[in-house]
Structure 1
Amino acid sequence: MERIDTHAHVVPEVWRQYTSEHGYDQPDGMPAIPAWSPEAHIDLMGKLGITKSILSITSPGTHLKAHDDGLARRVTRETNDEVANICRAHPDKFGYFASLPLPDVAGSIDEIDRALDDLGAAGFALMTNAHGYYLGDPHLDKVFAKLNERKAIVFMHPTSCRSHQAPEGERPLSQYPAPMLEFFFDTTRAVVNLILSGTVARYPNITYLVSHCGGALPPVVERFSSFSTAILGGDAGVNSSTVKDLFKSRFYFDLAGFPFPDQIHGLLRLSDTSRLLYGSDFPYTPASALGGMGTRTDEELNKLFDKHVVQEIYSGNAQRLLRL
């Protein structure tokens, strides 16, 4: 069955060199940045039935040194240029979500137009926080206004928890790799902040893709929405029903990681199958693991849904979203 992979990573050489130079050889507590090549990726796609992969840079993104916007702009431009060239060389196999040098506002606004108009980006991959500035922070408002103007797709990828007041501080429970637990919580922080800050409502032309089946969102929707109104006296228009409506109209969720057998059921109480997308997380999930994970995904989806719905999750939803 055909698959379109909306959560697939790329490791361009220029980005690998910059991350190594700035101390990210073991990002987020992982053992290393994995090897990657277009040829290896395309070979894996053939084995898994993936017809197109939408590539993106993962954590730590392209703003590698707090307060050094000049470096961030250079890393972002060179990285986006290299990824765009990879996609031009393999247009039938790859598209990409461009990076932005957040929290640098001016540099990000310039790069939005360049990536869309000159480099053919399908949208943008934003980390859940940029040196502690979480998506939805007022500091980033002009960037979201620009994304709204361009009717952009925003692929939200988790990164390590940070505070902008101490961006280089040690993350909690650092003895465990952040992707094991903390990525789920940082995804949840970012989505909650986007909604409660009013960013999602103010900029209705942005479509959000949330990684890893929504992270830890499902069990906390009622709590954060009710708490914000009943306890904090916030916007009465934010309640669990309106959040669920947003999740069915403005948000998509990929199935990268381990959503079966349990996590998927929580998300389906908030959204529906028209908002689900396939994701491999290659190469950070290694090729050696993806065969078995793919079989498990097939088995679990076919237990839950008929073949038409499964095909929509694997490719149809992404085709409509990305206009493929």
Structure 2
Amino acid sequence: MKAFTFFSLVLSVATGIVSAQSLQSVKDMIIANAKADNIDLTVLPCFDQAIADIQQIYANAPGQKRDFSRRQATTATAANIVDVHAHVGPAWYKALFPTIGGQAVPDWKLNDTFNFMATQGIQHSVLAFSVPGPNVWPGDQKKTIALARLMNEQAAAYGKVYPGVFNFYGQVPLPYTQDAITEAKYATQKLGAVGIWLQSNTEGKYLGDLTFKPFFQAVNSWSGRQLLYIHPSIPLLRVNGQLIDSNPTPYVTGKIEFYFETARTVMDLTLTQTIHNFTNINYLIPHVGGGFPAAIDRILKSYPTIYDSSLQIYCTRFWWDSAGPTYFHQVAGLLGYGIPKSQLLYGTDYPYAPLAVQPASFTAVKNRPDFTADEKTAIFRGNAVKLFDGKIKFN
């Protein structure tokens, strides 16, 4: 069979010609690239469904173009929004992990995201699979690294077919640090991921864990600004060799514990001085920091030698998205530490935060009395353009 590259595939999509041979070559190429990194994708029970899904993205592309030029009148002051916090959840992935944080994973199709973007005034979305990422089988290294690769191939396909509409954050198979380095390099340098998506904890280990240090060293050594997107996850404890959900309350983990998870992992990154030691890494924190801003003084006043330097990093190399009902009052806690408004971004958390809750969250940003019109416009678009520094392409 003739060699077939992503370049020739994207060209065939652009011309509206995607042959059966081309789609078979997509599968062959994905398998070959995985084998080159000693990854066996066929260990996954979802392999066939996921490959078919990826092929379908390419096959359907010519008939799925969308006009994003018209915006709702209600979004006139924030036209052409960049959403830095959006998720994908194909059916094959939901079948692996149908509930998360005490709630059912929402049904999702690509058309749903297209329609959502059109109604919300969003021109460009940065996509990621959500929790638990590739960690569906704790302790199974082969499946975890294989799933991370397959997730990245699918997320990359959206960006390659719709480069003016989508980018993505790459997944990595922590706690397997060397494999995570390999996958991060592949996702960013081969597939074009604009950053790496990390969970607040992986199998109970928070991100400042010493075993993850080589990962941060590797990412920090790469040229250009590197971005880690830190997403809250289920709090876990290892008891008698088993991982258990450690949420001590009857309340839904996704609504309550996720905020504390963000606080725990940013605290860990700070107190281990991970954020101080690897200065080429920027961090994107969702939900304007979750519960962390309320705890900063409580934590850092006990470590006065890193108090000022930590706040400086939060003001320069940390970026904070708006996902959720965060701009009614919560954002004021973040601003109270002097975090510049130039570090604030817009995120929707769609579809995990459903369409019904989006208008109020959007309006809360739009109506904040302590932000100027220019500052609001920057939150909706300009700050993200600055952060991604040319990596986002627009139609």
TM-score (norm 1): 0.91
The alignment partner of 1:281 has SS state of coil
Query: Where do 5+ consecutive residues of structure 1 fail to align?
Result: 230-235
The 2-side partners of 1:260 and 1:306 are apart by 14
Q: How has the CA–CA distance of structure 1 residues 252 and 177 changed in structure 2, closer, same or farther, with 3 Å as cutoff? A: same
Residue 147 of structure 1 aligns with an amino acid whose one-letter code is V
Match of 1:101 among 173, 192, 208: 173
Name the structure 1 match of 2:365: 297
Match of 1:29 among 96, 102, 106: 102
Match of 2:231 among 143, 153, 157: 157
Match of 1:111 among 179, 183, 190: 183
C-alpha deviation, 1:295, in angstroms: 2.4
C-alpha deviation, 1:107, in angstroms: 1.1
C-alpha deviation, 1:228, in angstroms: 3.3
- Alignment of 1:126 with 2:198, yes or no, is yes
Matches within 5 A, 1:33-112: 33-112=105-184
Residue 217 of structure 1 aligns with an amino acid whose one-letter code is F
Identity of aligned residues (%): 29
Name the structure 1 match of 2:351: 283
The 1-side partners of 2:98 and 2:141 are apart by 21
Q: How has the CA–CA distance of structure 1 residues 317 and 73 changed in structure 2, closer, same or farther, with 3 Å as cutoff? A: same
Segments ≥4 residues shifted beyond 4 Å: 164-167
C-alpha deviation, 1:167, in angstroms: 5.6
Match of 1:314 among 371, 377, 380: 380
The 1-side partners of 2:90 and 2:166 are apart by 14
Deviations 1:85-127 (A, max 9, x none): 1221111111000111111112101101111121110011100
The 1-side partners of 2:166 and 2:184 are apart by 19
- Alignment of 1:249 with 2:321, yes or no, is no
Name the structure 2 match of 1:4: 82
The 1-side partners of 2:187 and 2:91 are apart by 19
The 1-side partners of 2:193 and 2:139 are apart by 26
Residue 116 of structure 2 aligns with an amino acid whose one-letter code is L
Instruction: Please identify the structure whose Cα radius of gyration is greater.
Output: 2
Larger RCO: 1 or 2 (CA < 8 Å, sep 6+):
1
Name the structure 2 match of 1:194: 269
- Alignment of 1:15 with 2:93, yes or no, is yes
The 2-side partners of 1:128 and 1:149 are apart by 22
Contact 1:100 1:108 in 2 (8 A): yes
Deviations 1:226-256 (A, max 9, x none): 2235xxxxxx2x11x3222111111000010
Name the structure 2 match of 1:233: none
Deviations 1:123-174 (A, max 9, x none): 1110000001101110101111111122420010000112356562132235
Residue 376 of structure 2 aligns with an amino acid whose one-letter code is V
The 1-side partners of 2:92 and 2:102 are apart by 21
C-alpha deviation, 1:195, in angstroms: 0.9
The 1-side partners of 2:265 and 2:242 are apart by 16
The 2-side partners of 1:118 and 1:299 are apart by 41
The alignment partner of 2:126 has SS state of strand
C-alpha deviation, 1:13, in angstroms: 4.0
State the number of aligned residues.
308
C-alpha deviation, 1:309, in angstroms: 0.8
Query: Where do 5+ consecutive residues of structure 2 fail to align?
Result: 1-77
Matches within 5 A, 1:164-313: 168-229=243-304, 236=305, 238-239=306-307, 241-270=308-337, 271-300=339-368, 303-313=369-379
The 2-side partners of 1:191 and 1:316 are apart by 25
C-alpha deviation, 1:15, in angstroms: 2.6
